[in-house]
Amino acid sequence: MIHRFRDRAEAGQRLAELLAEYADRPDVLILALPRGGVPVAFAVAQALHAPLDVLVVRKLGVPDQEELAMGAIAAGGVRVLNDDVVHELRIPRDVIERVAASEHAELERRERVYHGGRIAPVLRDQTVILVDDGLATGTTVCAAIAAVRAQRPAQIIVAIPVAAAESLAALRPLVDALVWVIAPEPFDALGLWYENFVPTTDGKVCALLECGARAPGSTGDRQQAPLP
């Protein structure tokens, strides 16, 4: 029987158990996909004693079906389209461009809010662990992978608490390692696999990032930063 996660923090703790081999390594960086991926990634970063940052990615939702992704954009000008959805629904190019423009404005807003005056981390030659709270179609994670890959890291690991099996299969060739806790079938909706799935606010994201920046980064400092 597959058990649901109590909340995103518990999901991150369970995910961290599967990532134990990356603990206390100076080359490891945890990158969260905001907003929901940040509480999960914070728990992972605390357990692995690794630094935490965010990679802003925005889903391009189908008009009137916003939960269905026809693509995604990420920092650095990355755009990934879900060709199956675009072709099946016959979505015109001008609709894609209109949605992309709107989401790009939100992407830039979140970049300003989440990073503030902080300098973005250098990913070259790093082992980057990308974390989100779940994987449905995988479109946003694909955009995140492309954005990270452009910076030439040593490795890209995608770590997800709950994922659709077909999306895991599609992602496997794109990364160096793929880690997940549960892959229920049928997957249905992501929120079904959390008892508490309340939206993560910008304020919560910023608080966790600030706290994550103070998190211990070595075996000599085991005290965890307090939860905000």
Distance of CA 111 to CAs 30, 103, 114, 140, Å? 17, 12, 5, 16
Judge whether 221 lies within some domain. no
Closest by CA to 74, choosing from 26, 130, 122, is: 130
CATH of residue 192's domain is 3.40.50.2020
Domain assignment of residue 35, yes or no: yes
Domain-located, residue 223: no
Has residue 177 been placed in a domain?
Answer: yes
Residue 220, domain member (yes or no): no
Q: What is the pLDDT of residues 41-91, one digit of tens each?
A: 999 999 999 999 999 999 999 998 887 889 999 988 899 999 999 999 999
- Domain count of the chain? 1
Is 219 a domain residue? no
In-domain check, residue 167:
yes
In a domain, 218, yes or no: no
The three state secondary structure string of 143-205 is HHHHHHHCCCCCEEEEEEEEECHHHHHHHHHHCCEEEEEECCCCCCCHHHHECCCCCCCHHHH
**What's the pLDDT at 3?**
82
Average pLDDT over residues 190-209: 95
Q: What is the pTM of this model?
A: 0.89
Give the pLDDT confidence score for residue 118 in this predicted structure.
78
Single-letter amino acid code for the residue at 37? G
Q: Which domain holds residue 20?
A: 8-213
pLDDT higher than threshold 70 for residue 176: yes
- The pLDDT of residue 210: 87
Binning pLDDT at 50, 70 and 90, where does residue 1 land?
Answer: low
* Segment among 89-103, 112-126, 138-152 with least mean pLDDT: 112-126
